[in-house]
Amino acid sequence: MIEATGIDHIVLRTTRLTEMLEFYVQVLGCQIERETEKALGLTQLRAGNALIDLVDVESNLGRKGGGAPTHQGNNMDHFCLQIKPLEEVEICRCLEAGGIEVGEFTVRYGAGGFGRSLYINDPEGNTVEIRCAG
């Protein structure tokens, strides 16, 4: 029997690669792990055990996915990033320092059971749920 053990990677198509890199690297602490040649258009970011792949819509790889994502027609509802334990007020401070609009923490159910998390949006309008591990 096949049994999933976690998220390996997600792929986000973008028209705003520079802003997406700033958001995921500078605001959320991901690390650039691998970049392909510009024509292919793939940048892979390390997020703990998983990768976030950013694909430039204007690249060879990006054109295969069709039109660009929009705020009315995203290609995904949301994904959840687990982060190291940090006080909620500190999480909000870090996000706001990065120019991110912050909502309310709410109890939600996820892979680790019930826990407090909040939703934010990346520069392409993708919804990212932020949840402390543990």
Is position 80 within any domain?
yes
Most confident of 21-25, 40-44, 47-51, 70-74: 21-25
Put simply, whether the predicted model's pTM sits higher than 0.75 gets the answer: yes
Is position 28 within any domain?
yes
Is position 4 within any domain?
no
Q: Helix H segments across 38-129?
A: 60-63, 88-97
Model pLDDT for residues 75-85, shown as the tens digit of each residue: 776 888 888 88
Is position 31 within any domain?
yes
CATH of residue 26's domain is 3.10.180.10
Provide the domain count of the chain. Answer: 1
Model pLDDT for residues 30-48, shown as the tens digit of each residue: 999 999 888 888 899 999 8
Structural domain containing residue 85:
9-132
> What CA–CA distances, in Å, run from 126 to 12, 37, 39, 75, 132?
8, 25, 24, 8, 19
